Amino acid sequence: MIEKIIDENVILLFALLGLRALAEYDPAEYARATDSSKIELDSRINSLFEGLGNRQTENVLLVELASKHSQLTALTNETRGRNAAIFLLKQLHVSCLERAQQLSLLYEPEPRPREVSRSTLFSERNKFDPRDKDERSEHEEFLRLATMRLLRELPRYSASFEVLTPKTQIDCMLNPPSDDLPMIVVEARMRLRESDADRVIKLLKRSVSAWGKRALGTLICATIDPLLWDRPIQKDRVFILEFDVESNAFRGQGAGELSRIVWNQIDNSKS
């Protein structure tokens, strides 16, 4: 099974072998791509190969990788027939890169661990960048991406955004396909600070209670203050979920837990 052994290092290795071939036949184009010297690139390739260790003979993909590596070594050391070697290096560049691209399509990124959270990318953006989106559209983009991802866990639910109630505006309402299932009130925050958490959750609880006893609340955040990491993901009828925009996935088990409770309500109402 190819899918089982595709890890990011294999994809990177194919791409690096392609880049190394490029460095050999077109140094100007190589300089456009990177500041790394050929020596640095070689050392990166070798250390990745060392990381694969004895696995190199274990499956077709790794054998292919080793074969490309030896082709590259042979072509870079070729002194006679330089024109033919350049032609073959060009082919090697394209074939390695295409292989990396092809494998990347099968690659499923894991949600990032919190320590290297990408979710802070919004705050890392240059605030003076005139092309930058305003805060409101970032929030909206985040809300919509997270909601659509959540809907995959809640089939047949439908979403209404920016729902106005007499007292407040709700970011999103998830409407159930049948009366047996609960309404879900969704609020999105780019960042949940420890000092703000209780107030935000209290406000959400108030919104949820307006939709009946069975309604649930979901607070989706891009970044959660580390001081809150140890808190339970569910308190009363409110769930706190952390969504990683880059991998388009929820961190932890929060979304799965929410889904489980929602579908349990059908079972409870039947019994």
Partner 1 sequence: MSTVERHLGRRFGFSCQAWLAIDIADRFFRSNYRTWFSTSLNPQMNGSSSNPLILFQELDRIVQVNDHNHSRVEQFRIRLSNWITGSSLPAADVAALLKEIVSAPVPAFRPQIWKIDLRSIHISRLISLGQFPDEYQLADVIPGEIKVIVP
Helices (H) and strands (E) in the chain, counts: 10, 7
For 252: left if phi > 0, alpha if psi spans -120 to 50, otherwise beta; the answer is: left
Residue 112 beta carbon to partner 1: minimum distance, rounded to whole angstroms:
8
What are the tokens at 9? 């290092």
Residue 75 beta carbon to partner 1: minimum distance, rounded to whole angstroms:
18
| CA neighbor of 261 nearest in space, from 184, 189, 209, 203 | 184
Q: Which is nearer to partner 1, 98 or 194 (CB)?
A: 98
Cβ(145)–Cβ(245) under 8 Å?
yes
Q: Which is nearer to partner 1, 5 or 33 (CB)?
A: 33
Q: Which is nearer to partner 1, 15 or 89 (CB)?
A: 15
Residue 96 beta carbon to partner 1: minimum distance, rounded to whole angstroms:
10
Residue 65 beta carbon to partner 1: minimum distance, rounded to whole angstroms:
14
Task: Count the Cβ atoms, other than its own, within 10 Å of residue 92.
Answer: 23
Radius of gyration (C-alpha) of the chain in whole angstroms: 25
Residue 161 beta carbon to partner 1: minimum distance, rounded to whole angstroms:
24
Identify the sign of the CA torsion 162, 165, 168, 170. Answer: negative
Q: Which is nearer to partner 1, 24 or 187 (CB)?
A: 24
Q: Which is nearer to partner 1, 101 or 253 (CB)?
A: 101
- Please state, in angstroms and as integers, the Cα–Cα distance from residue 20 to each residue in 10, 32, 198, 258, 269, following that order: 15, 13, 53, 48, 63
Q: Which is nearer to partner 1, 132 or 194 (CB)?
A: 132
| CA neighbor of 252 nearest in space, from 226, 229, 227, 268 | 229
The residues of the shown chain that bind partner 1, judged by CB under 8 A, are 7-9, 11-12, 15-16, 18-19, 22, 28-36, 41, 48, 94, 97, 100-101, 103-105, 107, 109-110, 121, 124-126, 128-132, 246-247
Residue 238 beta carbon to partner 1: minimum distance, rounded to whole angstroms:
30
